A and B are shown apart, each in its own frame.
Chain A
Amino acid sequence: MLRAALHTRPAPGAVIRGLLAAVPLAFLLVLLIAPALRLLLEARATGTDAPGWSALWLPWQDPYLRHRLLWSLAQAAISCAASLALGLPLAWVLARLEFPGRAFLLRSLMLPFVVPTLVAALGVLALMGPGGLLARLGGPDLQGSPWLLLYGNLFFNLCVVVRAGAESLAQVSAARLGAARTLGASPWRAFWRVEWPAITPALMSALCLVFLYCFSGFGLALVLGGQAYATAEVEIYTLVAHELQLGQAGALAVSMMTLTGLVAMAYAALERRLATPARADRVLRRVPDGLWPWAGVLAAVAVWGLFCALPLLAIVWRAGLAGTGAGDVWAVLREEDTLQALWNTVRFSALALVLATVLGLLHAFAARRSLLLRALAYLPFVVSPVLVAFGLLLLYPGWTGSFWLLVVAYALLAYPFVAKSLAAALDSLSPRYGEAARTLGASPWRVFRRITLPLLATALRRGMAFAAAAAIGEFAVTLFLSRPEWATLSTLVYQRLGRPGAANLDAALVLACLLMALAFAAFVVIEWQAPEEAAHA
């Protein structure tokens, strides 16, 4: 802390940070906070179900809603623990060992993010549903069981932990690790004493995201778990969108936001304290030699296969199977609607990604010393999207169905990925490199361009890859109004699944494959020869 205070000149720095913060804050205020507050005000105005401050306790008094809240908490906590237990070893193997297909594995881990929820559910059910592979092999049918829900959570969130873990492990100082080993520490001890402290900030940041996602998420959980496992967020959605019971929804939403807000604040407080300066001397990956490293690689591939690849393969397999039957299933790829949707997906995602990257960079740099700003970066995940969607309608009816509102909604849900990824990297950025450059006469801008940004490149790329996945996968964007001419690939998938008939199901599966291919291409472009690889070249 003292060091940090000494090496910056406080006054101009604070001004710059204030200016940097103004842009993302204005963005959050106009597009998130104001609409949500507007809807809550509407709830007070219509006031049939009398919300007051006491109403905030209502969800806890009603046994049904209390059950929903507690269940939301429990499944989120269990999912966090499970994704850490499975994700960390996988991350370690990916960060330390060099084996064929490693980059493919890292990128494909993010594909679950982009697959439309219902298609993902079809993939999971093809494995573990009533007529699925597991049941045919004599195993149990897991549809409707909480196990399937937890599996779904892992399927979606494992990548968050693995990517954060692998990237931060790659930045552990090789000199320190080497010193520990030379001094006689076992690999296990070296892990706990050197690697673990260095990666905790990034890991905790990832777990915080996983928690928020599982706690407030509602796609897959509902499809896989059924109505009995609905989370509190689903309750809010139903109350607002279908029953227009704004008072009750508001009370529940505020309870949820208080809980998630506390998590975000607690994490933001921890985040800086956990940070340890990273070094530029990265640990090199080695080719597995001997039994144990290879066993590690095999185990990693097994985890990846079981929790990420199999449901996706089931989708590809079902699409392929559909292609071999009568009728030209692949014709859907040549339809005018599909091409239009493909262009829309690319266009929305690209614009949202640019916007999200700028906002994320500004927010991360502005939030270096402010606890509150750090926590605010989680806001788009904390505020219930259905409140925002309906609030926007009320507040800005003139913007209804406007192109830029839609792009901005995409960016809003994507930018926390960039901001969080960068914030963790900034914490572990040693000030010494910058100081040295400054001493040698570099301007602050030059220091930023030549020192800070390159050191953050990996984190920035990771953040952008996730932001792209969020944009392509369109989390919650379906809540906003859309126009047929802006139909995206996900919209087309849902349109197809809105009608009965085999041809519709087949077309939906083929379109989902197209979506996955597009997302994979985006990941490859964004992470093309990341600097860590360049360093090895």
Chain B
Amino acid sequence: MKHGIFYGRSRTLLAQAAACAVLALSAGAALANEVAELRVLAHSSFTVPKPLLAQFEKDAGVKLRITKAGDAGEMLNKLILTKAKPIADVVYGIDNALAPKALAAEVLEPYAGAAAGRSSPVPMVAPLVSVDYGYVTVNYDKAWFAKSGLALPKTLEALTQPAYAGLLVVQNPATSSPGYAFLLATIGTLGEEKAFDWWGRMRANGLKAAKGWTEAYYTDFSRNGGKYPLVVSYATSPAAELFYAKDKPTEPPTGSLSLPGGVFRQVEGVALVKGGRSVEAAGKFIEFMRSASVQQQMQTEMWMFPAEAGVALADVMKFAPEPAGFSSPADKDIADKGPQWLARWTRVVLK
């Protein structure tokens, strides 16, 4: 009776599957009862605590439909590609490095609400309203440097010296926003020619390029078992390391460097999407992102500094000192030459 066994089994499997399908369908139907929907597009790092989102839905009388579209660069490209029939009403996560591209593609709509008028320590080019900011910078593994006795590098130039050979891992700027930000910082300080000369010498000195932040930080950084004690990350990463440490140390196990030409200030913004539907609710969402509670709680969720003036910093942020200086090419140059720079970086560092 082996056939019987097979049949009995497959019938129960099918029955279970059918039950699943019915459940899922009914769940879908329950969602569809008519409340106005606000479509939010965000990059994959977007995290606002659920209770705050629920409160917003209640206050604004809308149902949020948040869609995550990958890395910020990928998200913007999806927005540009669907320009004719926008897939969202409001977009969060376009930063100052991507802003020129977004403006050139004309995918954003002007916004004149209160948040756009309030001053911020980190203003963004309209129609983007800044939400948070952070610094892309080189982080180092304290234990590794203590053990090796090597002095911390003071300049970008030092990293091209034999003593620092094979110590730095960066992200591919074509596939990673911190990687792109770091490339922009070097061009901002050194100028295009000298910057690519530096990248060429870094390649000769054993620079490693990883696909994205996660790959670099979790497989290449010596703190996590890799062999590179220097990694491009954020100035807030040491604070996050402390926050998420298990044995509650008094000092973070990593630190951030403030190398001239090696720091980029990344400002992330929110904006209306051109051709989006619920303009009024979308405006409320922009205000919400600048509200005190989001600005406060976002710090230890997304590990960025608040863009709203006067919002208190989370306690742990004292381990994330803001770098003294930062650099970037002009917006116009980023818009005009960004794609060429990426191609040139690939040629100089990878090919």
In the complex, whether B163 has a CB less than 8 A from a CB of chain A is no
User: Chain A interface: which of B126-134, B192-200, B211-219, B277-285?
Assistant: B211-219
- Say whether A501 contacts B240, CB under 8 Å: yes
In the complex, whether A122 has a CB less than 8 A from a CB of chain B is yes
- Say whether B66 contacts A403, CB under 8 Å: no
Residue of B nearest to A533 (CB): B2
Seen from chain B, the residues whose Cβ lies within 8 Å of a Cβ on chain A are 2-3, 5-6, 9, 13-14, 16-17, 20-21, 23-24, 28, 44-45, 47, 65-71, 73-74, 77-78, 80-82, 85-87, 172, 174-175, 208-211, 213-215, 217-220, 222, 224-227, 233, 237, 240-241, 243-248, 254, 303, 339, 342, 350-351
B122: shortest Cβ distance to chain A, in Å? Answer: 22
- Say whether A481 contacts B81, CB under 8 Å: no
A47: shortest Cβ distance to chain B, in Å? Answer: 15
B33: shortest Cβ distance to chain A, in Å? Answer: 16
Which residues from B are CB-within-8-Å of A322?
A: 246
Q: Once bound together, how far apart are the Cα atoms of A420 and B78, in whole Å? A: 33
Q: Mark A433-446, 1 if CB is under 8 A from B, else 0.
A: 00000000000000
Decide yes or no: A242 and B77 within 8 Å by CB, A351-B24, A499-B303, A531-B5 being known contacts. Answer: yes
Q: Once bound together, how far apart are the Cα atoms of A333 and B24, in whole Å? A: 23
- Say whether B246 contacts A327, CB under 8 Å: yes
Which residues from B are CB-within-8-Å of A23?
A: none
Q: Mark A132-152, 1 if CB is under 8 A from B, else 0.
A: 100000000101100000000
- Say whether B2 contacts A500, CB under 8 Å: no
Which residues from A are CB-within-8-Å of B71?
A: 241-242
- Say whether B213 contacts A227, CB under 8 Å: no
- Chain A 331-359 residues near chain B, CB threshold 8 A: 347, 350-351, 353-354
B100: shortest Cβ distance to chain A, in Å? Answer: 14
- A401-B87, A482-B68, A497-B214 known; 9 new pairs, CB 8 Å cut-off, are A122-B225, A325-B246, A400-B67, A403-B28, A478-B70, A498-B45, A501-B244, A502-B245, A531-B5
- Say whether B227 contacts A130, CB under 8 Å: yes
B67: shortest Cβ distance to chain A, in Å? Answer: 4
B22: shortest Cβ distance to chain A, in Å? Answer: 11
Which residues from A are CB-within-8-Å of B74?
A: 241-242
Q: Once bound together, how far apart are the Cα atoms of A499 and B67, in whole Å? A: 20
Which residues from B are CB-within-8-Å of A503?
A: 244-246
A478, A481, A529, most chain B CB atoms within 10 A: A481
- Say whether B24 contacts A347, CB under 8 Å: yes
- Say whether B85 contacts A397, CB under 8 Å: yes
Which residues from A are CB-within-8-Å of B20?
A: 347, 350-351, 354
Decide yes or no: A126 and B225 within 8 Å by CB, A400-B67, A483-B68, A484-B66 being known contacts. Answer: yes
Q: Once bound together, how far apart are the Cα atoms of A504 and B223, in whole Å? A: 14
In the complex, whether A292 has a CB less than 8 A from a CB of chain B is no
- Say whether B81 contacts A125, CB under 8 Å: no
Which residues from A are CB-within-8-Å of B23?
A: 347
- Say whether A481 contacts B214, CB under 8 Å: no
- Say whether B67 contacts A143, CB under 8 Å: no
- Say whether A350 contacts B219, CB under 8 Å: no
Some 11 contacts from A to B, beta carbons below 8 A apart, are A125-B226, A244-B77, A326-B246, A326-B248, A390-B78, A400-B82, A401-B67, A479-B70, A494-B44, A500-B241, A505-B218
Which residues from A are CB-within-8-Å of B342?
A: 243
B318: shortest Cβ distance to chain A, in Å? Answer: 17
In the complex, whether A121 has a CB less than 8 A from a CB of chain B is yes
Which residues from A are CB-within-8-Å of B24?
A: 347, 351, 403
- Say whether B78 contacts A393, CB under 8 Å: yes
| 10 closest residue pairs by CB, A with B | A501-B244, A130-B227, A503-B244, A397-B85, A354-B17, A534-B2, A327-B246, A400-B87, A454-B3, A401-B67
Decide yes or no: A129 and B226 within 8 Å by CB, A241-B77, A498-B44 being known contacts. Answer: yes
Q: Which of these, A118, A351, A394, contacts B215 with CB under 8 Å?
A: A118
Q: Once bound together, how far apart are the Cα atoms of A144 and B247, in whole Å? A: 32
Seen from chain A, the residues whose Cβ lies within 8 Å of a Cβ on chain B are 42, 64, 118, 121-122, 125-126, 129-132, 141, 143-144, 222-223, 226-228, 238, 240-244, 322, 325-327, 329, 347, 350-351, 353-354, 390, 393-394, 397-398, 400-401, 403, 450, 453-454, 457, 478-479, 481-484, 494-495, 497-506, 525-526, 528-529, 531, 534-535
Which residues from B are CB-within-8-Å of A394?
A: 81-82
- Say whether A351 contacts B21, CB under 8 Å: yes
Q: Once bound together, how far apart are the Cα atoms of A56 and B172, in whole Å? A: 26
B12: shortest Cβ distance to chain A, in Å? Answer: 10
Q: Which of these, A325, A354, A403, A483, contacts B14 with CB under 8 Å?
A: A354
Which residues from A are CB-within-8-Å of B227?
A: 129-131, 141, 143
Q: Once bound together, how far apart are the Cα atoms of A495 and B218, in whole Å? A: 13
- Say whether A223 contacts B246, CB under 8 Å: no
Q: Once bound together, how far apart are the Cα atoms of A218 and B94, in whole Å? A: 26
- Say whether A122 contacts B218, CB under 8 Å: yes
Q: Which of these, A223, A504, A506, contacts B211 with CB under 8 Å?
A: A223
Decide yes or no: A500 and B174 within 8 Å by CB, A227-B209, A483-B66, A534-B2 being known contacts. Answer: no
Q: Which of these, B21, B211, B245, contacts A222 with CB under 8 Å?
A: B211
Decide yes or no: A351 and B3 within 8 Å by CB, A241-B74, A243-B174, A326-B247 being known contacts. Answer: no
Q: Which of these, B81, B210, B222, contacts A393 with CB under 8 Å?
A: B81
B46: shortest Cβ distance to chain A, in Å? Answer: 8
Which residues from A are CB-within-8-Å of B303?
A: 499-500
A425: shortest Cβ distance to chain B, in Å? Answer: 14
A140: shortest Cβ distance to chain B, in Å? Answer: 12
Q: Which of these, B6, B209, B240, contacts A226 with CB under 8 Å?
A: B209
- Say whether B244 contacts A223, CB under 8 Å: no
Residue of B nearest to A389 (CB): B78
Q: Once bound together, how far apart are the Cα atoms of A484 and B48, in whole Å? A: 11
Q: Which of these, B2, B85, B218, B222, contacts A118 with CB under 8 Å?
A: B218
Which residues from A are CB-within-8-Å of B240?
A: 499-501
Which residues from B are CB-within-8-Å of A390?
A: 78, 81
Q: Once bound together, how far apart are the Cα atoms of A499 and B214, in whole Å? A: 8
Q: Once bound together, how far apart are the Cα atoms of A347 and B82, in whole Å? A: 29
- Say whether B66 contacts A238, CB under 8 Å: no
A118: shortest Cβ distance to chain B, in Å? Answer: 6
Q: Once bound together, how far apart are the Cα atoms of A126 and B226, in whole Å? A: 9
- Say whether B209 contacts A500, CB under 8 Å: no
- Say whether A454 contacts B2, CB under 8 Å: yes
Which residues from A are CB-within-8-Å of B73?
A: 241-242
Decide yes or no: A242 and B174 within 8 Å by CB, A126-B225, A390-B78 being known contacts. Answer: yes
B40: shortest Cβ distance to chain A, in Å? Answer: 10
Q: Once bound together, how far apart are the Cα atoms of A64 and B348, in whole Å? A: 12
